[in-house]
Each structure stands twice: as structure tokens, then as C-alpha cells.
Structure 1
Amino acid sequence: MRHDRLPDGFGVRIDPRVRTYSGGRLLVGGTPTRLLRLAPEAAAMIGDGYLEVTDPASARVARRLLDSGVANPRPRLLPSLEDVTVIVPVHNHTAELNRLLSALRGHSVIVVDDGSDQPVRIPDSQGSRRRVTVLRWDRRQGAAAARNFGLRAAATEFVAFLDPDVVPRAGWLEVMLGHFSDPKVALVAPRILAMDPDSTLLARYEHTRGSLHRGRRESAVQAHGPVPYVPSSALLVRRHALLAEGGFDESMPAGGDIDLCWRLDRAGWRLRYEPAARVAHSNPVTLRKWFAHKVVHGTGVAPLGQRHAGMAAPLSMPIWTAVTAMLLATMSGWGVFGGVLTLIATLFRLRRVFAGLDNPTRVAAIYMARGFSGGVWRLASALCRHYWPVTLLGMLCSRRIRHIAITLAMADGLADWFLHREPGCLDPTRYIACKRVEDVAYGTGLWWGALRTRNAAALRPTLPPN
């Protein structure tokens, strides 16, 4: 039986994107956007946006804020580093492994040699306070099996998984460990950045928009959320939670990390992405290898669609947004008229939802505009990424579709660059070029995986009513 009460001293901070009304009793935000109503006593506990757990009542309010997605954790308690074992699955990456081990001084490490051509030999660690155990298989069984082997061999409460081609930065473990003072948290992931971002064009792109990069904002990890999953290249997990869920699925050559995140979430555990903890990842070597990696990543979606109904959909948007976008895209008088009527009907429906606010019409209009613009952006991105073969076919058949598709591709690329840009990042032209090549690679893998499994679940969008 799990005891899920947050400990005294644990804090939560209202997310800066959340809007408060009526003296803090009504909060609008989260993913998906929701209206959270608090009792006056609960609102008074939050004060300037921060709540510290001091008793059962404040613990209940803090839990509700966290589970609603309107607040982020601010733990003050820190489990011991001695309670963590680092597991490194390796196959023929001796140089990378030695580089990683040199950064793991003072940690207990289990290296799982997954059938390397030459057995792994650990260099002398005298004076490093590093404790390294090597477990070897004579025949390669895959990274998922190697991680599970190390998981079962560990004896500590927490386990960190690191691939040999990553190097953690100082303080990475301490930042993530604090989250486990919440007894419902089973997994925390760091921000993964390029190891040498200035070396090549691809490295500069991967530094800001790589498939391992989950962004700059802290977040809960949830399907269809801003961070739907985190990669297995660097993870910190609660060992007994992972064992209870059977560990990594060894039958999945791709997408196993996504499957693990969704299984843990379905079991009632909480997962967090913590960008303050940073891990560097080796840069891609060649365009060919980079492209092939993106294709493989896409092929893993079809098995996920079979296992997790509706969660692997390439596009999720409210049905009113989809209907409005299609009507306006016709560029006809009746289409525009129908789109405007749909927006007006949505505005009145949202106004009833926000009826308890001071100016419900204004608030409803703001969130309707945000919802529609966000939905159109997701649609444009999906047409360039997941559905690019369909978009290409339409471009070949119609000049109007060709003009619309090119405009959407440029607008989506510019918006994506603006959102993810960082100092020293690529200029918009090269960024958009890299983004579109990545989208073609991922979309190719997505369609190939769907054809290979003869299952269209990974291609089918979801259109919830709200």
C-alpha cells in the first residue's frame, strides 16, 4: 500500500502560465486547460503563489494543485545519494563508457556488458571513490534487457539509467532526487543537450530541437501534454515502482521508453521532467546516421498505438478546432461563414464554463483564441511531419494546396524556431531546413511502421469534444 501524503516542508509553486481570478479561488491553466475552483481556506494557503505543506489540510491542497497540473513541485527534502545505483547498458562503446565513468566519481555503478565483442574492462578507479560492478552477457540481448538486468541486480531504493554516450553535469542527481520526496513520483528525467553544440550544423540543431530534447520548461510527463514522454538515455526511477510494472518491455526495439512512461502514468504514478538537471549527449556524426535514427524513432509509434489506444495519435485537437480550420481552409464564402459560426458557438459554450469569473466573455474569448491558434499550429506541424506523404500528394494534385502547404511549412518552421531559439542557435533558414528533413525522416518511419504492423492506430488523429 502506498502512502501518498506529501511530507511537511514540501512546497508547490503555481505555474507562471496559470491565471488566477476571484482572489485566487479560481485558477485557469494546466494541460489540457481547466478551471480549478478552490475553497476560500485553500486559496488563502497559497498566498503569493507558493504553498508549503505543514499539516494534512495543506498536503491535500498541494496534492490537488499538482495533480491538476497548475503547480510545480518545490521539494526541500533530499534522499541520500547512497540510495542510488547508476546502471549503464553498453555494447562496444568502450571509449564512451570510460568517459562516462570518469564523471561518476563517488557513485555505485553497475555496467551491463550486452555482448560486446571484447569484454568490458574497467580502468583502475583508485582514488575516485567509484564502485563499479560489471555484469556480462555473452550474446547481445538489447538495451532494454540490459537495463532490466541491472535493475534486478541493484539493491538501492533508486536507480539511474545512463547510456554510455552521455555525460551528466554537476549536480544532476541532486536536482532530480528531491522530486522523490513526493511518494507518488516514480520517474524523473533531466534535460539532454548536445555535448559539443558548436561542432556541426546538426549538433547546433540537436542542441535546441533534438529528439532527446524536452524543452526549457519543467513539466509533468503525460501523454498529449507538453512533455508526452522522456527518453531512456538518462532517467532516475524509483526501483520498486519500475519492478512492479515489469521494467522495460524487451520486445520493443524502439519506443520502449515511451511505453514505460505511459504504463507508469496509467498505474497512477507521477513523472517529472526537470530541466535544471542537465546531461550532455554525443553529437550526431553524419547526416545519414542522423536521418536513420529519426526513421527508427518513427517506426516505434505503431506498436505503441496497438498497446496504448488513442495515446499514440499523431494529432489531438478539439473537434470544434478541427471543424473551424477545415471550414476556413476552403476559402469560400460559406466556409468562412460556417467557421465563424462555429467559433461563436464555442465562445458561448466557454462563457458558461467561466461564468463564475468577473468578465467571463473576455476570458472565454482569450482561451478560445489560444485553443484555436494552438490547434492550427498542431495541425500545420502534423501535415509537415506525420502526414507529409498525404500533403505531398495534395501538392502534386492542386496548385492551391501547394501554396497553402508551402506557407504552412514556412510559418510552422518560423514559429518553432522562435519558440525554441537559444543563444548561438541556427539562423531561421538552416533551422527550418533541418526541421523539415527531420520531419520527413520521422514521418517515413511512422508510415513504414504502420504498414509493417498493418495497423493505422499510429496515423489516426483524436478529436475530443473539448
Structure 2
Amino acid sequence: MTVSAPSETPLPEGFRVRLTARHHRHGVLESSLRPAVARMSPSVRALLEGDSVRVGEDVGTGVVRRLMELDMAVPWPDRLPAAPALEDLTVVVPVRDRPAGLDRLLRALAPRARDDRAAPGPPVLVVDDASADPRSIDRVVRAHGARLLRLPANRGPAGARTAGIATVSTPYVALVDSDVTLGPADLRRLLAELADPLVAAVAPRVRAHSTPAAHPVVRYDQRWGALDLGTVPGLVGPGRRVSYVPTACWVARTEVLRGGFDETLRVGEDVDLAWRLVDRGWWVRYVPEVVVRHASRPGLRAWCRQHAGYGESSGPLARRHGPLLAPARYTVGGLVVAACLVAPAGWSTAIPPGVFAVTALRLRGRLAPLGLPPRSVLRLAAAGLRANLEQSSALVARYWFWPLVLAAPSSRRARRLLVRGVAVDLALRLRHPADLPLLALRVVENAAFAWGTVRGLARGGSMRALLPVLIGSRAGPRGSSGRRRPARQKYLSR
């Protein structure tokens, strides 16, 4: 059971955030990530110090929190007061038969002599989740002076983390998988985010190890890895740009996570816990400026099995979280965009430009009083169009892949939908023609994920894992304010 967030969470004096939204004249902020537009009152504009705002006598927590909630500002890492110390952190590493990866991680966590800030590293607890060769794990743990907790039976990632957290006495804990590599400086930077008392957990960007002449699936992960959530920082939650963060690396408040993982979930436990934390009023932050590395599966079969596992979690998660796990969230305009994947050839090419033009005209009329330049209106319209194309193509190519494959021999419409969905899904990720052969693995990844989804549904998952929802309808999640909504104007005042 996760702990609810405290009702009073004032930010410490001196807490500073920097604006990530475009700042126009008359105090108008534009963010194409959601997309959204906010107008600051004159009293709030007077508090700006360049592109930052600082909590102090003249500005309270409310304005700063609102900016962060809208993903228009993020904490300024060098200006965060009262950041927790590394000595207040325990690193918990669940492991099962990965002695080489564990050794690499523990070496990286050791303080470096050339660092003038070097101090004893944080205590490390390795949780051996019933390894087949426990002696190899024991040798690595003893070589690096870490503590070892051996579980008599395999409990899975959630169970191993729960067992480790139960023994932690420090106020903060880092959950780090044994195939991840990071250093003390990374932990120190992530800890700084917990200066905000409302933040329960923070996660870095997780990228695959860069290795030359690697297997194609490793090179694919280096470019489009499933754990790599991009370069844009912000809050995490259903309907947001970053809807979840993998527990490959989390830094969090110990008491908040204690007993929080659902051990019945072998995959997807990170999504489940993050969303329950958000539901209880906590914030979870994604900080991509901190980059940690993880090891990819070495072969195609293991790689496909991993992605099938990701898909298998969809059904159980949908049973727990209902429409929040919907694979797509549509406005009426978004449904029109989605129709281009199944419409006849002439209409399919005309629909996206037509929706873009109509959206731009509507936004121009709604946002005219703010004095936004035409290029801002075009950016917002383009962001909405791209988001709808992304979710529609992923819905077809990733979630509905196998049903459409089965229907394709007897249905021209199913064939058309499948081919167009896959083509758009690939085109939106293509950056250079040389990437095309490697990007073909995207089809394999989607097929593996879709097969896992089918298995998860067959084992009692909810069909909501396959069903899109209409935003604003009764079926849609209440209060979800994801990036796929049209641009909305908000007013910020003291």
C-alpha cells in the first residue's frame, strides 16, 4: 500500500525553476508538448528572473507548482536548496544470474579518487532473487563490500525490490537493475529533485550501451530502445507525454515505496506503482539530462521474448487501471485523423492536411487575443497532428497487429489499415535513409509486443488494453490532460 502525499507541501524558500516553454510578449507561455498556452498575470511576470522563477517572499509555491504541472518549467538543478545527501541513500540492486553486469554496476558506483567531491559511496544492498549460481553473485558482492540478501525462492523483480526496501533504514532508496550502469554523480543529481517534498520518485533517461559492431537488435536499442523515453523532462503519469518510467533506475523516498510494488505483476509493476503514486497525490519526475546505460538482450529470440513480456503486462494493467491504459485517446478531430489509415486513397492523403488547416484556423481564432505569432499557431497545430498520427499508427501496428494479420486475407479494409499503420509508424521514426534496414526491426518489436498482449488477455487481462477512448466521454479517464488534447489557454496568477 503506497502512502498518500501530504496535504501541505510548500516548496523550500529559494527553490528555483527554469521555463521550458516559449516565452512570448505580454507574458504568454507556449508549450507544444501538451500542447498548451498559458498567460501570466502582470504580477507573476514581474517575478521572472530571466527564464526562471524562485520561491521567496514575493512568490509562493502555487505559481511554481502550476508551471511545473503544465510541463512549462522544471527544477533548476544547480539552484535547488536542501537537496538530500548521498549518505542518506541506499542502493538496492535486484539480481538473478547476472554476475558480470552486477560487477560492472558496483565498480561504477565506487567513488573515484580524481573526483574532488569523492566520499564514501552510498551503501549497496544486492538482493539475490534465487540465482541458479549464487556463489558467483556472492563473490562479486564480497569483492565490492556490498551487503547481500538472498531470497530462498524467486519472487520476481517486484518481490525482490520489496524485500530489499523492507531492510532499508535510510530515508531515500535507489532501485537499480543489475544490467544498468551509473555513478555517484548521477545519483546525487537525481537526489536533488527530491528537494521538492511532493516528488516521490525520479528516474533518468535509460539508453542502451553503445558498443561498436553490435548485434542488430543492440544497435536498434541504441537508437529506439523501449526504455529510452526521450530528451524532454517533465512529470510522469497517465495521459502525459511521459506516461511511465521504468524501474531500471529509480531514486525515491523509502517510506513511499515500502510495500508498494504489486508482486503478482512480473512485468509492468513500474507502471502500476507510478500511477498509484500519482493517484495518491505524489509527483513522479523524469530527468533525461541524467543518462544511465543498460545492456540489451544479446540475441533476437531473447529480445523478442522481452518485448512480448512488455505486451503481456497490458491486460493485467488495464484490469487495474481501466481506461487510463487505453492505447489511444481521441478528440473528435483525432478520430478524423485516424480515419486516414482506413479511408480510400484519395481521402487518406487529404485528411491530415485538412485537419491541420482546420485546427490552425480554430487555434488562430481562440488564441488571437494573446497576440501569438502565426508560427506558434502552426507549431501547436502540427504537434497535435503528429501526436494523433503517432498514437493511431501505434494502435494499428502495435496493439491490433495480430487481429489485423488474421483478418487481412479476407478483408481489404484490414489489409489497408495494417499496411498504412505500419508505414506511418515507421515513417514517423525515420531520420535518415540509412536507418531503414535497421528500422525494419520495429515491425518485429511490434509483432512481439502484440503477441504478448494477446497472451496477457488470454490469461485474464482486460480488453480495455486494446480499446481507445474518446476524451470528454464517460468512458474516458477523468481529468486526464494528455498531450493529445487540443491546445488550451490557462491563466497564471499569484
TM-score interval, normalised by the smaller of the two chains: 0.7 to 0.9
How far did 1:324 drift? 4.7
Q: Which secondary structure state, in structure 1, belongs to the residue aligned with residue 399 of structure 2?
A: coil
Q: Which secondary structure state, in structure 2, belongs to the residue aligned with residue 57 of structure 1?
A: coil
Give distance in 1, aligned partners of 2:129 and 2:272. 22
Residues 122-143 of structure 1, C-alpha deviation per residue, up to 9 Å, x if partnerless?
45868x7x5x221222222222
Letter in 1 for 2:243: P
Letter in 1 for 2:263: E
How far did 1:417 drift? 3.0
Q: 1:201 to 1:221 in 2, by over 3 A?
A: same
The question of 1:179 aligning with 2:179 is answered no
Write the mapping of 1:335-350 to structure 2, written as runs, cut at 5 A. 350=363
Q: Choose the corresponding residue for 1:459, options 466, 485, 492.
A: 466
Letter in 2 for 1:115: A
Q: 1:403 to 1:305 in 2, by over 3 A?
A: closer
Q: Choose the corresponding residue for 1:81, options 72, 77, 86.
A: 86
Give distance in 2, aligned partners of 1:180 and 1:262. 18
Write the mapping of 1:277-426 to structure 2, written as runs, cut at 5 A. 277-326=290-339, 329-331=342-344, 350=363, 353-358=366-371, 366-393=379-406, 395-397=408-410, 402=415, 405-418=418-431
Give distance in 1, aligned partners of 2:410 and 2:307. 28
Equivalent residue for 1:23?
26
Give distance in 2, aligned partners of 1:164 and 1:101. 9
Which 10-residue stretch deviates more, 399-408 or 32-41?
399-408
Equivalent residue for 1:137?
151
Letter in 1 for 2:151: W
Equivalent residue for 1:121?
138
Q: 1:372 to 1:275 in 2, by over 3 A?
A: closer
CA contact (8 A) 2:341 2:421 kept: no
Q: 1:6 to 1:400 in 2, by over 3 A?
A: same
How far did 1:392 drift? 2.9
Equivalent residue for 1:211?
226
Q: Which secondary structure state, in structure 2, belongs to the residue aligned with residue 171 of structure 1?
A: helix
CA contact (8 A) 2:88 2:170 kept: yes
CA contact (8 A) 1:169 1:277 kept: no
Q: Which has the higher contact order (CA 8 A, sep 6+)?
A: 2
Q: Structure 1: give runs of 5+ residues left out of the alignment.
A: none
Give distance in 2, aligned partners of 1:341 and 1:148. 52
Residues 399-451 of structure 1, C-alpha deviation per residue, up to 9 Å, x if partnerless?
57646643543343132132xx8xxxx93222321111101111111122123
Identical pairs, percent: 32
Equivalent residue for 1:103?
108
The question of 1:226 aligning with 2:228 is answered no
Q: Which secondary structure state, in structure 1, belongs to the residue aligned with residue 468 of structure 2?
A: coil
How far did 1:60 drift? 2.9
How far did 1:341 drift? 8.7
Residues 87-144 of structure 1, C-alpha deviation per residue, up to 9 Å, x if partnerless?
0112232333233222222220111222233444245868x7x5x2212222222221
Q: 1:101 to 1:9 in 2, by over 3 A?
A: same
Q: 1:344 to 1:166 in 2, by over 3 A?
A: closer
How far did 1:296 drift? 0.9
Q: Which secondary structure state, in structure 1, belongs to the residue aligned with residue 297 of structure 2?
A: coil
- Counting matched residue pairs gives 452
Q: Structure 2: give runs of 5+ residues left out of the alignment.
A: 1-5, 111-120, 473-484, 486-494
CA contact (8 A) 2:218 2:296 kept: yes
Report runs of 4+ in structure 1 exceeding 6 Å deviation: 332-345
CA contact (8 A) 1:19 1:27 kept: yes
Give distance in 1, aligned partners of 2:190 and 2:132. 35
CA contact (8 A) 2:102 2:178 kept: yes
User: Alpha carbon RMSD of aligned pairs, Å?
Assistant: 3.0
